[in-house]
Structure 1
Amino acid sequence: MTDVVAGIDLGTTDTKAVLTRPDGEQVAFARRPTSWTTTTDGRLETTGAALAADVLRTLEAAVAAAAEDVRVTGIGIAGLAESGVVLDERGRETSPVIAWFDERGQAELTAQGPAFVAEFPRRTGLPLGAQWSLPKLLWMRANGVLIDHASRWLNMPEFVAYALTGERVSEPSLASRTGLLDQATGQLWPEALDRIGAGPGFLPETRTAGEVAGRVTEGAFAGAAVTVAGHDHPVAAIGAGATGPEDLFNSCGTAEVLLRSVPRILTDDERATLVGLGIDAGRHVLPGHGVLIGGMRSGLVMRRILALVGADDPARRDALDRRWRPDAAVGDAVAVLPAGPHDNDVTLRLRDGAGPDQLWAATLAHLGEQTAALLAAVNSVVGPHRTAVAAGGWTRMASVRQAKAAVIPRLRISALEQPGARGAAMFAACAAYDVPFDKVTRHFLDTADATERTTDDRST
């Protein structure tokens, strides 16, 4: 029987589970679709119980995939933020789990008045919008969900921990995505609580990533230590090796994220400035650290461009990738018009001489400009990063890797395919064996070094 720890990444599309030995060697991996229901009016929601069942099924599949008998001693749970559930005084679910990208609550948030709307970014480090938990809670209250001083709120990784252990905890990086936290103090923002009718205990006791939230009470994993690892993006940064106090992480998926660690809590003015520049400023999974997150839709744009030029199958994509050159001249044959960081569309202008190679080169140049602009915005407030690491499916393309290296100084490419689940496993090891984070980091990163290559020598 081999002792392993499990890292869970509860994602919007899929839930992933990785099993590793305590030293970081991977033993098994599994993924399963995440459960959502489309309402009669086309909205996406689910229940906490359904998502907890997704996690258990995925974890069971990972155990079944292991080539040896394993015993899970620790479980770290990372995942999507903003979506969560209201519990009553008996700990029962009383609200739906609304998808983080659902627009419910936008009108209710705006209706809180100009003073509240103006103060929101400065207090929370978040731009005004429907993504966060607060607008969802405002919508719930307006639509009959009871929220009072006995109510509690759990983000989804926290609810899964509660379902496994019976213990309710709040993890800081998830709490900072709710719109309920005063980032200056790390405490709940009284003004926001008043707007939803909640009391000062609406978020449970704080437990940081790596601290034991509780132990599994029954079933095949009974006795395993459970920790809430936190928001998927900073947990993925940890898993990829961006563990330093001033490290930069570039997650290269459909929704690209540029994430920067800061070894202090920002001032109100710094938060307001960053939000105005399109960057969220919250709490990292590392205690005492802030995290800055800027988002783009780069992966979505690249996928659409590849489809447009007939290169959405692997062979044609690889041929296009090989033909790309960093000094490729585009001239005025193609123009990619600027888009906002959260836009799902780009506008192209094509002239004579525009072919697939020119279009791909112009796309990478455009996305490089967006990345450079976000990086410059971050640097203008907190200074340059120390080291940088990128991970994600798009880094398999040499053209993407080289284009990124041209705009992100000191960039290393991680070959890890599931940094979020691996980061959660790192925190699971801390909880299961009461081992300091620094020691776990050394073991896991030493193991990862065998599979990683630098930007210059990684093959296609």
Structure 2
Amino acid sequence: MTELVAGVDLGTTDTKAVLTRPDGETVAFARNPTSWTTTPEGRLETTGANLAADVLRTLADAVATAEAAHGPVRVTGIGLAGLAESGVILDEQGRETSPVIAWFDERGAAELDAQGRAFVAEFPRRTGLPLGTQWSLPKLLWMRAAGIHVDAASRWLNMPEFVAYALTGELVSEPSLASRTGLLDQATGRPWPEALDRIGAGPAFLPETRPAGRPAGYVREGALKGAAVTVAGHDHPVAAIGAGATGPADLFNSLGTAEVLLRSVPRILTDDERATLVGLGIDAGRHVLPDHAVLIGGMRSGLVMRRVLALLGADEPGRRDALDRRWEPRTDDGVTLMPAAPHDNDVTIRIRDGAGPDQLWAATLAYLSEQTTALLAAVNSVVGEHRTAVAAGGWTRMASVRRAKAAVIPRLRISALEQPGARGAAMFAARAAYDVPFDKVTRQFHETAERTTHDGSK
């Protein structure tokens, strides 16, 4: 029987699972749409049970693919990475008591505005995040205002943590995910009492911290019974590890629904450093690597590109590919994109006579390139210029996106790895299942990664 480890990337659009041998050789891959429901008010939400079912279904598909090619297999470890900020409240009996709200949903804006000047001023220093609706805290403020009960016995799990709980029955909190909640005091690595007070939660609202690569528990039942489960963490730093961009001079450009520029810092930042970084538009949180900080300059490029393609009727693959082939760097002013304040996931489009689909797509990439340039300058102003850069994610499949990014990010390579997030999660699964040093795991996996990158201009 072939022993394999599984890496899962629970994404906004799709849930992906890769099965590899313990040395990193990929054996099988599967993906399924992530389950969301649109409310009558146009909001996007789901349940933890639905997302756990997405993961199990995708793992089952990957196992079936592996067994069709290799005969019986046994999954010895499962690493769970994925979207942050979205999570679920559990009651004292471990039952879900809240919806899972999409990370980009803007519920909680009014409640956040009512928190007072002192809290607003302290928030970036304590959390490493700008005040805004993306994080878990405003969602929790909205839930409380909507009548969802929170007390000292309540617990909060980000979605990869909830899937681990569904598989093992164990409650754990992974640092990189916890640092995206707005509830974590980055200086201490423990929950921030002031934020907990705002939602009526107790000090155990975030469960015991368990670093990526350490088992949260073991699968209790079903075909995967006995597999070690680890919460690998926030999808972006996990994908950086999967793509081999882990050093302090490495830049990782993740191009999914959210786009990020990511750098690693091999120490915990000070309060003043966090405040400065947030003022420059950079999130400063905990990495999935122990005793490391992660700097994330983020924008919602994938969301903008998806909306523009839908507007153009080019969200169907054939039309999208034709638009992609016709792209040339912007040479006219027929179309202009600009942020639609106050939220950067919306844009305003100005169109002049003579503009068509090609001009709109060119203007979209030009607008996003300008944002990338500004974020890169901010990151470099703090940690210096990168020596190597690698990009990965679904949008890198479009040649126009690759070429536009290579024009503004020096020394950029495009990872040919289809799923660096799932692959990074598989690295942590191997660490959890076999208790081998993580540097040995990464070295084995990265030998493959280094053979599958190419210059970003192609």
Q: Do these two structures clear the TM 0.5 threshold for a shared fold by scoring above it?
A: yes
In structure 2, the residue matched to 1:298 is 301
Q: In structure 2, give the amino acid aligned to 1:15.
A: T
Q: In structure 2, give the amino acid aligned to 1:124.
A: T
Does the Cα contact within 8 Å between 1:86 and 1:151 map onto a contact in 2?
Answer: yes
Measured against aligned partners, the alpha-carbon deviations of 1:1-33 in whole angstroms (never above 9, x if no partner) come to 110000111122221111111111111111222
Match of 1:226 among 229, 233, 241: 229
Q: Against the structure 1 CA distance between its residues 138 and 386, is the aligned structure 2 distance closer, same or farther, given a 3 Å change threshold?
A: same
Measured against aligned partners, the alpha-carbon deviations of 1:155-193 in whole angstroms (never above 9, x if no partner) come to 111111111111111100000011101112222111111
Q: Against the structure 1 CA distance between its residues 356 and 449, is the aligned structure 2 distance closer, same or farther, given a 3 Å change threshold?
A: same
Q: Against the structure 1 CA distance between its residues 400 and 329, is the aligned structure 2 distance closer, same or farther, given a 3 Å change threshold?
A: closer
Secondary structure at the aligned position of 1:244 is classed as coil
**Counterpart check, 1:347 vs 2:349:** yes
In structure 1, the residue matched to 2:290 is 287
Question: Structure 2 CA distance, aligned partners of 1:263 and 1:455?
Answer: 27
Q: In structure 1, give the amino acid aligned to 2:441.
A: V
**Counterpart check, 1:434 vs 2:435:** yes
Question: Structure 2 CA distance, aligned partners of 1:117 and 1:434?
Answer: 43
TM-score of the pair, normalised by structure 1: 0.90
Q: RMSD in angstroms over aligned alpha carbons?
A: 2.5
Question: Structure 2 CA distance, aligned partners of 1:12 and 1:361?
Answer: 25
**Counterpart check, 1:379 vs 2:374:** no
Q: Against the structure 1 CA distance between its residues 63 and 383, is the aligned structure 2 distance closer, same or farther, given a 3 Å change threshold?
A: same
In structure 2, the residue matched to 1:175 is 178
In structure 1, the residue matched to 2:29 is 29
Per mean C-alpha deviation after superposition, the further-off stretch among 380-389 and 55-64 is 380-389
Does the Cα contact within 8 Å between 1:270 and 1:381 map onto a contact in 2?
Answer: no
Measured against aligned partners, the alpha-carbon deviations of 1:393-424 in whole angstroms (never above 9, x if no partner) come to 33233343233222212211101121111111
Measured against aligned partners, the alpha-carbon deviations of 1:232-291 in whole angstroms (never above 9, x if no partner) come to 111111112212233211112343222222222222222222222322221111111111
Does the Cα contact within 8 Å between 1:170 and 1:207 map onto a contact in 2?
Answer: yes
CA displacement at 1:439 relative to structure 2: 1.0
Counting only pairs closer than 5 Å after superposition, residues 46-65 of structure 1 correspond to structure 2 as 46-65=46-65
Q: Which runs of 5+ in 2 are unaligned?
A: none
Q: Against the structure 1 CA distance between its residues 299 and 94, is the aligned structure 2 distance closer, same or farther, given a 3 Å change threshold?
A: closer
Q: Against the structure 1 CA distance between its residues 313 and 55, is the aligned structure 2 distance closer, same or farther, given a 3 Å change threshold?
A: closer
Per mean C-alpha deviation after superposition, the further-off stretch among 75-84 and 141-150 is 141-150
In structure 2, the residue matched to 1:6 is 6
Measured against aligned partners, the alpha-carbon deviations of 1:278-324 in whole angstroms (never above 9, x if no partner) come to 22221111111111222223334445556677766656655665565
Question: Structure 2 CA distance, aligned partners of 1:26 and 1:111?
Answer: 50
Q: In structure 2, give the amino acid aligned to 1:415.
A: A
Match of 1:121 among 119, 124, 139: 124
CA displacement at 1:210 relative to structure 2: 0.7
Secondary structure at the aligned position of 1:57 is classed as helix
**Counterpart check, 1:262 vs 2:277:** no
Question: Structure 2 CA distance, aligned partners of 1:151 and 1:365?
Answer: 46
Does the Cα contact within 8 Å between 1:246 and 1:262 map onto a contact in 2?
Answer: no
CA displacement at 1:386 relative to structure 2: 3.3
Question: Structure 2 CA distance, aligned partners of 1:35 and 1:126?
Answer: 28
Question: Structure 2 CA distance, aligned partners of 1:214 and 1:194?
Answer: 30
CA displacement at 1:337 relative to structure 2: 4.4
Match of 1:111 among 99, 114, 134: 114
**Counterpart check, 1:164 vs 2:167:** yes
Secondary structure at the aligned position of 2:153 is classed as coil
In structure 2, the residue matched to 1:421 is 422
Secondary structure at the aligned position of 1:401 is classed as helix
Q: Against the structure 1 CA distance between its residues 307 and 8, is the aligned structure 2 distance closer, same or farther, given a 3 Å change threshold?
A: closer
CA displacement at 1:344 relative to structure 2: 2.7
Does the Cα contact within 8 Å between 2:334 and 2:353 map onto a contact in 1?
Answer: yes
Q: In structure 2, give the amino acid aligned to 1:442.
A: R
Q: In structure 1, give the amino acid aligned to 2:123.
A: F
Q: In structure 2, give the amino acid aligned to 1:9.
A: D
Per mean C-alpha deviation after superposition, the further-off stretch among 419-428 and 399-408 is 399-408
Give % identity: 82
Question: Structure 2 CA distance, aligned partners of 1:329 and 1:174?
Answer: 38
Q: Against the structure 1 CA distance between its residues 16 and 187, is the aligned structure 2 distance closer, same or farther, given a 3 Å change threshold?
A: same
Question: Structure 2 CA distance, aligned partners of 1:184 and 1:135?
Answer: 21
CA displacement at 1:106 relative to structure 2: 2.0
CA displacement at 1:129 relative to structure 2: 1.9
CA displacement at 1:336 relative to structure 2: 4.3
Q: Against the structure 1 CA distance between its residues 318 and 167, is the aligned structure 2 distance closer, same or farther, given a 3 Å change threshold?
A: closer
Secondary structure at the aligned position of 1:453 is classed as strand
In structure 2, the residue matched to 1:154 is 157
Question: Structure 2 CA distance, aligned partners of 1:349 and 1:42?
Answer: 27
